[in-house]
Amino acid sequence: MQVKIKGFIYAEPCRRWSNDEDKLVDALRFDFATYQKSKEYSPQAVLVREHEIEVDVPDDFDIRDGLVANLEAEKQAVMAAYQKRVTEIKAQIQQLLAIEA
């Protein structure tokens, strides 16, 4: 199936490394957004033009595999944060026990 995404191309000034000159140079960074950026959101962004992207998506595309992968990644991040905090608490307990001895 054909999917059309309408959006906006923006340009913003930036500094980037020039391999030719081995120094930072002024440049433009381009971005595509599906919404109009407000001045409050990004005061440096200037609208270049509206644009439409058209892509082929397989008719049998199933979003569930991607959603499961996202949840697995979130689960791993939560487990890592939990383990980090448990380790910090154990270290604090050991410090307190060492003070008493």
**pLDDT single digits (tens) 28-73:** 999 999 888 877 778 889 999 999 999 999 999 999 999 999 999 9
3-class secondary structure, 65:
helix
pLDDT of residue 12: 93
What tens digit of pLDDT does each residue of 14-25 get?
A: 988 877 767 888
pTM for the structure as a whole: 0.56
Handedness of CA 50, 16, 13, 33 (dihedral sign): positive
Q: How far apart are CA 78 and CA 72, in angstroms?
A: 10
**CA terminus-to-terminus distance, the chain:** 71
pLDDT of residue 42: 80
pLDDT of residue 35: 87
pLDDT of residue 99: 81
pLDDT of residue 100: 66
